[in-house]
Amino acid sequence: MLVLIGMALVFATVLGGFLLEKGNPYVLMQPAELLIVGGAAVGITLVANPKSVLRKMWHGAGSVFHPPAHTRESFRRNLRMLYEVFSYARRASLVNLEPDVEDPEKSRIFSNYPEFLRDRATRAFVCDSLRMLILGAAKPHELDHLMDLDIDVQRRGRREPVSALSAIADSLPGLGIVAAVLGVVITMEAIGGSPETVGQKVAAALVGTFLGILLCYGVVGPIAARLDTVNQQQTQFLMVLRIAMLAYARGSSPLLSIEYARRSIPIELRPSFDEMEKSIKREAKIPSVSEHQAEGQNAAKAVEGQSAAKATA
């Protein structure tokens, strides 16, 4: 909403000031200048970027007009979800968590969080990290490196459309000058005409420069900056989840693991300790441990005990 208000304010103040100076709004309606600036910008974009980046640009530019994805409430929900995962793993052992990780949509935990299931990147980040814990294939410091690598790759991927939009914004003033130069060429051809005709052509030429600068600093540049902010928020969100899973992998209790993650949330988005505690007590739904799962858990503990005894002997 704020993005739409800001862009509307940009155009309203620019055009309002032009009208206050008794400018003729019809002079700004130059389809040819808009075609030169806009068409050339689209062409440059197609030349400079592969399809994957173009797709990211399209979705990213649209996302800046949506409400923020990560709020105090979304952080609270996701931390509650991880608390349920950790508590269930503590009760039933990590091995019994494998079906939930392999098929999150049918999980008794993850299926209660449709927002998490729709975010494919976050879902893969969480489930793949938990899978490493279940398989016992990674020690805590190795899991830390894996999650950090995943976050860095996602961050660089989200940075691509921002760089592309910034490059477009940088090219727009130059394209405006190109449109103005072409207008001057046309004006020079009509130099022997009436002063009114020459004046109209000069005005049309200057509109090209105006469009290039306005689109750069009033539209494309701010959208790129906003998209960069959205991407940074997503990175921070993944870092919070990483801290929770790493704390649990190092042996912290489910509640302490969530508290580690809560403390890493930016102050303006961080739920209070009381809010988090009430959410866990009132809304957390930890699946019960079936008899079959309990037998599997006892067997796993017995195997671990025998292995420890052999190692000691």
- Among 201, 181, 176, which Cα is nearest to 190's? 201
User: Which range is least confidently modeled, 88-92, 120-124, 240-244?
Assistant: 88-92
- Give the C-alpha separation, 34 to 28, whole Å: 10
Residue listed under structure tokens 């403390």:
263
pLDDT at position 191: 77
pLDDT digit string, tens, across residues 126-185: 999 999 988 887 888 999 999 999 999 999 999 999 999 999 999 999 999 998 898 888
pLDDT at position 150: 94
- Give the C-alpha separation, 147 to 195, whole Å: 69
- Among 106, 114, 113, 105, which Cα is nearest to 84's? 113
pTM: 0.82
Contact between residue 287 and residue 88 where contact means Cβ atoms under 8 Å apart: yes
Provide the CB-side half-sphere exposure for 85 (13 A, CA). Answer: 31
- Give the C-alpha separation, 261 to 89, whole Å: 18
DSSP state at residue 220: I
pLDDT at position 160: 93
pLDDT at position 88: 93
Res 67 pLDDT > 80: yes
Res 292 pLDDT > 70: no
| Rounded percentage of the chain residues whose pLDDT exceeds 70 | 92
Res 208 pLDDT > 60: yes
- Give the C-alpha separation, 127 to 132, whole Å: 9
Q: How confident is the model at residue 60 (pLDDT cuts 50, 70, 90)?
A: confident
Res 1 pLDDT > 80: no
pLDDT at position 275: 92
